[in-house]
Structure 1
């Protein structure tokens, strides 16, 4: 059949006449058909068209209803939309959340046991019997409560802090569905019970967020302890080396004095004074927990051209710390742009972090010391903050392993 344009077969009298003429021509080409049959065929098409329009409208209405009931639960989408998590009910620690959850669960159990979770009609009759009616309402209420609790328990079991709103929406839809299905007997979830289960979801999300926060803090503390222990061992090794050297020189000094070599003895005495000063410096460094090196490093192959890490170490050999950071967790070694010693390295590091706060890569976990900045940006900042402490700075990262890997890839 030829295609028809516009608003259908019957947009008006003129359109109808045009369509009839087209139909007659089409029928004649097929062998002939009288006008009455064409008119009947046209009327049938009209009725079919109206039926299709009605079906489309009904399907559209049902689709919108289903879309209204659908709650977005796709984790990837929820993660993309997740912002910084805000606690709904701030408590001191994960233990406090767990205790509160235990209290809430006990209250949920009590409401269910007392028949105050799902309510229904009190005057429903079955075959004229109020008792049978109450039994039916009670049985249906139990069924609805089981369905609601299944949805709530699943939300609790699969909870992630960023999924909280989605879980609450799902529970709201469950309430709406129970109202719809239990309409004839006025069956519905009680407001107190629903609020309690939403409170449970909020506490669960808070508990999981606090638990992860505490785990991250524990990880950071352990890392700090390992760093402090490594520094302590370095101090002990250096003091042991200096004392061994001091013993060697004292022994040599005694021999020179026994020989009467005053010139040689004076030279060794000067050396012993240097060693004594070095020991004092190491002990002072060990005692001053704020003294150390602030380092500025980058890893082009792992993080790109415009990302730097700014940290602090108390090690006597700060490059050891940099080498540790470039272990198996990243594909390439870090490049060092600056090592700045300061009696208050903790304060210097803090000032640098504060100045670059809006450029943090991780805006949630502030223990991650990566920033969107070039080495040159940090150099300019250091010249203002560190002043005379900034003796040497390298703007351009060598990134030797990364460049060699790119070359090998192209050559291959």
Structure 2
């Protein structure tokens, strides 16, 4: 007679949290393997033993199915209570920030936020921020029942406002939806906990707090936008002052040189040296033309140089910067850009003088618009392009203004440092932020 196999006893797992859920799945797999072994042992059993074993297996399967249904319900509950706060994932999905409440400036946003805050306070003081059931009694006392409901309503409102204030204080422009989702979960949780007394946050009050979040996010984005505009305006003014100082220095130098030649000319004329005087008069005419040219450049703010530069050591071989300067010596501007903020100096590929350098720069930027590095701030003048591509574009747009073009960057510091010969390893992938908050 074959030996009877003792049925496997299965006890449904009591799991709390995500660890118990996934642990239950592993146990189910182990128990399924044990069932397979038992089925193999059934092949040598008689009919009565097989029937008994089949009944036992059916009981185990039913228990496993019940456990699986329970685990699915637990997973659904936990997912419903989670608010995803993965910053990295959010930033990968966002594009250019779009204002939900477009206003002229930060001052206008601040005024609207102040008005909204007054409305929120008025609802809280007027008792319309929280909805609750009426008719509760304690020991037959309606007054005591009303007092109890009022106390619990106040407690729920304080909890909600604490979370709402935290959301407003920490909201960032590109995380508005996550912040609103968090506050929605808080309102849902309060409604669930206060279901017995019918306590919940009033929909109108919740809408005001959500409006406060979106308005605050817009305000912070506008403040940052205005700060960036101020920084760029200061840089433009600094560059303009530097150009004007150069013009003044050059005019002073030419005026001094002009006075020397005028004094020498007077002496030659007094001696009757007509040939020498003619040479000095020609030189004085050249100086006069130079002074007129400097004054013309100073008066015409569109006159200047368009430069094409790259920094292979800092940005790689397929990125260029195309800008414009009014400096008398445009290389001074290039040297300033290669200061301590970048590891190597910039290489100059082209310097194009134009009486409409502003327009020439704008045409180049428009032609390379799809290759911009920074598509949010168009005042950043970097483009994904190699010098050869820019050379062809310059020949088409600048025409005869393009005198010379250096396609290959020298990158002397970068090559001398031996950086291009080092076998560098790619940086380790950052650990994604996958924090979650249960509310």
TM-score, reference length from structure 1 = 0.89
- SS of aligned partner of 1:312: strand
Q: What is aligned with 2:278?
A: 266
Gap runs ≥5 in structure 1: 25-34
Over 4 Å off, 4+ runs? 1-11, 15-22, 38-53, 407-411
The match for 1:157 among 169, 177, 187 is 169
Distance 1:400 1:366 in 2: 30
Deviation at 1:407, TM superposition (A): 5.5
Unaligned regions of 5+ residues in structure 2, if any?
9-27, 424-439
Q: 1:29: which partner in 2?
A: none
Match of 2:373 in 1: 361
Question: Cα distance 1:17–1:325, how it changes in 2: closer, same or farther (>3 A)?
Answer: closer
Cα distance in 1 for partners of 2:277, 2:154 equals 99
- Say yes or no: does 1:282 pair with 2:294: yes
Residues in 2 aligned to 1:119 and 1:238: alpha-carbon distance in whole angstroms: 77
**CA deviations over 1:192-234 (Å, ceiling 9, x no partner):** 1111011101101100110010000000000000000000000
CA contact (8 A) 2:176 2:214 kept: yes
- Of residues 210, 216, 226 in structure 2, which corresponds to 1:204? 216
CA distance in 2, matches of 1:72, 1:107: 30
Query: How many pairs does the alignment contain?
Result: 398
Q: Identify the residue that residue 229 of structure 2 maps to in structure 1.
A: 217
SS across alignment from 2:320: strand
**Is 1:155–1:167's contact at 8 Å kept on the other side of the alignment?**
yes
Q: Which residue of 1 aligns with 2:94?
A: 82
Given that 2:414 and 2:420 are in contact with CA atoms closer than 8 Å, whether structure 1 keeps it comes out as no
Structure 2 counterpart of 1:31:
none
How far does the alpha carbon of each residue in 1:323-342 deviate from its partner, in whole angstroms, 9 at most, with x for none?
Answer: 00000111111111111011
Contact 2:94 2:174 in 1 (8 A): yes
Does the CA contact (< 8 Å) of 2:97 and 2:174 recur in 1?
Answer: yes
Structure 2 residue corresponding to 1:307, chosen from 319, 322, 326: 319
Q: Helix, strand or coil: the match of 1:309?
A: strand
1:341 match: secondary structure: strand
CA RMSD of aligned residues (A): 2.9
3-state secondary structure, aligned to 1:84? coil
Could you tell me which residue of structure 1 aligns to residue 331 of structure 2?
319
CA distance in structure 2 between the partners assigned to 1:20 and 1:126 by the alignment? 65
1:252 paired with 2:261, answer no
State the match for 1:27 in structure 2: none
Rounded to whole Å, the distance in 2 between the matches of 1:76 and 1:152 is 23
> 1:74 Cα deviation (Å)?
2.0
TM (norm. structure 2) is: 0.84
